[in-house]
Amino acid sequence: MLEPAKLRAFRRAAVEECDGPHGLEYGDIAPFGTRGFDPARVVGTVTEAGEITAADAEVVRTIWDGPRTSTGEQLWYGLLPSTESWADGSVPVGLAATQEIDGELTPVPFMVAEPWFKWLLRDPAWDWRTLTFQQFEELFAQGVEEFAEFAGDDPDLSRVRDRGGKGGEAETSDFVRLFISSGDTHGFSYFGPGPHLATGMAALMEWVEEGRAPEVLIGETYDPAAGKVTMTRPVYPYPLVAQYDGEGDPTTPRATVRAVSPDGQREADGLARTALPRSRP
């Protein structure tokens, strides 16, 4: 377990490392941009919770790597280094949350994971503190088997396409597009800038009902204390991102150009930044 102050330091270091290519330090980054960051680079950093150690870096590396079996097989993906996972968001929950009880740092289970295991075990009184690595592996396999019919990890979306469906789960195409925005907190946009909850739905309805595919969504950062929007920025389908052009007010969409995300370059199929028109939403 790590204190929030240390987790913040790891995230901050990863974000600062990768903010540069986007032309401006927004405090968030393009999708997947921090994947290659080495947590060992943060060792020695002093935080409110003390100096970050090599052991701390290995804990974070494990979180970013994701759960594995006893033989090293990866069960699922880890968290991106840019992810806030310790309950700093507008909703105080996280995958790596802790709280201090009687002077001791104690983990706080994720609000979805605990009832999920209780469901699998058919035991509402199950105590998560009894969970072992072996039992976790077994329950993971049980969940995959029991709910295979509802799995959402199959990249073949041909049946959706054949039914005339539209959605936001893959790269730009004629029936499905993926819009990723950093820091939008499930559409609440307190960290943002990200599309408001209604923005994506309105674009989807227009695509399905009127045949106009979304080329861009407008993301917002909303300050609940001030009661106003403090920043707006275009959000493009992956692998495109909005990049500050070095001119004008960076809190507005007019100060951006459309570019290929550095982490999406391999998937861009030769799409070049110079071939893209300037964004002026």
Rounded to an integer, the average pLDDT of 174-192 is 74
Residue 179: partners with Cβ closer than 8 Å, 6 or more residues away: 168, 195, 200, 214, 217, 235, 236, 237, 238
Residue 257 above 50 pLDDT? yes
Average pLDDT over residues 16-28: 55
**Lowest mean pLDDT across 163-172, 220-229, 271-280:** 271-280
Give strand pairing partners of 74: 68
Residue 235 or residue 274, greater confidence? 235
Residue with tokens 């102050």: 5
Q: At 189, which amino acid appears?
A: S
Q: Where residue 244 falls among pLDDT bands split at 50, 70, 90?
A: confident
Q: Lowest-pLDDT range, 43-52, 61-70, 143-152, 187-196?
A: 187-196
High-pLDDT (> 70) share of the chain, %: 80
Q: What's the pLDDT band for 74 if we cut at 50, 70, 90?
A: very high
Binned at pLDDT 50, 70 and 90, residue 116 comes out as very high
| CA within 13 Å, CB half, 267 | 14
Whether pTM > 0.85 for this model: the answer is: no
Alpha carbon 131 to chain centroid distance? 27
- Residue 173: pLDDT over 70: yes
Mean pLDDT of 70-74: 93
Domain definitions of the chain by residue range: 4-108, 158-275
